[in-house]
Structure 1
Amino acid sequence: MSEADYSRVSPFWQIEFFYCNSYLQSHSLYAKISASESPMSEMVEVVIDSIRVHLMAPQRVVVLKQSSTERYLTIWVGPYEAEAITVALQEVEMIRPLTHDLIKNIFNSFGARITRVEIVKLQDDIFYGNIVADAGGREIHIDSRPSDAIAIAVRAHVPIMVHRSVMDAAGMEPDREVPETNAPLARQEPPPPPSSDDANRLSVFKDFLDKLDIDSPDKDKPDSP
């Protein structure tokens, strides 16, 4: 904007202009690029195992399974995000692009290639994620909710990665079958009690998994839109 053009705007718009200019100088024009770029050696790949519905509340969760072992990570998602993931998994063709289709198309239009999505941190019971893209040979990490990142990963056909610290903190393994033994149960040494930190951290996930509707395989598949 030239000085002549700028002199014609109202004081209100001058204030808005100064505010926006200050904001753009302190923020990246590539949206919110995350500073937490984790090395790939600290990441594990997961796949979408299922999308389930909580019995006690109208909430959905995405169940992610670690590719290399029987370990699962559950993430709460909103109904819209759950529907967006389901539509992409079932390859339902929509008449008009949904929000996550639009985001993928924007990446493609600007020549940026989505390479993977990540779940990098768990803090105060909130998961944090990134969308990782290659833009002209430069890798960018864009801050994202994991639910949105997963919905985009399904559309872009890219891996979903989880930081090992997140998987260690929130991942759960199914109960292993206890081998039969003839020894009296009274003689067995009781297992050491879990620490208070471990109990507090995992209680919310154990309580949630106990209430999941997992009896019927047919209920694992949400209705098509």
Structure 2
Amino acid sequence: MKELSIESIRLSLMNYQRVVILREKDSDRYLPIWIGPAEADAIAVRLQDVSVARPLTHDLLRNLIEQLGARVAYIVVSDLSNDTFYARIVLEVNGETMEVDSRPSDAIALAVRTEASIFVEDSVLDRAGVVLEEDNQPAGVGGSRPERGRPVDPAELERLGAFKDFIEGLDLDDFDQPRG
């Protein structure tokens, strides 16, 4: 497993969908995950320290977990199947660990509220991670330069076609700019 941090939340100008961009710690590899507008707002509200009058759903979930004496140890993006990411929330309860199935967007929204670490399974990052070349263009997309020299299977390219289209439509010019 690799640890990730939230690089940004972006809006695709091609289809107006939101995407959370996770960045591998100590690396220039990124993991883009499409998320819904409500989850994007829930993550952004917490990242920007915006106060809301009443608890949002993810605040309620955090409060419930804490009131029951548990804590979020970490979350992990655990799988990618048919262009759908899967995640698990790992809880510590009475000295034991418990895993709860989750959408990545909900797990990330909870992680930012509990300051829990975000991890991804190596196999997911190897399949969907994007490395930026020096000119800020994705490497390994469309068969140009696959990561780690692994040959790109045409069937895999077909399955990941939606990711390729999305990545090619991102504005990556400000990726190296500091976040405020």
TM over 0.5: yes
- Alignment gaps of 5+ in structure 1: 1-42, 178-191
The TM-score with structure 2 as length reference comes to 0.84
Q: 2:37 aligned to 70, 79, 103, which one?
A: 79
Structure-to-structure mapping, 1:1-225, within 5 angstroms: 43-176=1-134, 194-215=152-173
Shift of residue 135, structure 1, vs aligned partner: 0.5
- Structure in which a larger fraction of residues adopt helix: 1
Q: Percent identity?
A: 46
Deviation at 1:136, TM superposition (A): 0.4
CA deviations on 1:68-118 (whole Å, 9 max, x unpaired) are 311010000000000000000011111110000000000000000111011
Q: Aligned partners of 2:40 and 2:102: how far apart in 1?
A: 16
Task: Give the TM-score taking structure 1 as reference length.
Answer: 0.68
Matched residues, number: 164
Aligned CA distance change for structure 1 residues 50 and 138 (closer, same or farther; 3 Å) = same
- Tell me which protein shows more strand as a share of its residues: 2
Counterpart in the other structure of 2:144 = none
Unmatched tracts of structure 2, length 5 or more: 136-149
**RMSD in angstroms over aligned alpha carbons?**
2.2
**SS of structure 1 residue aligned to 2:13:** coil
Q: Residue type matched to 1:94 in 2?
A: V
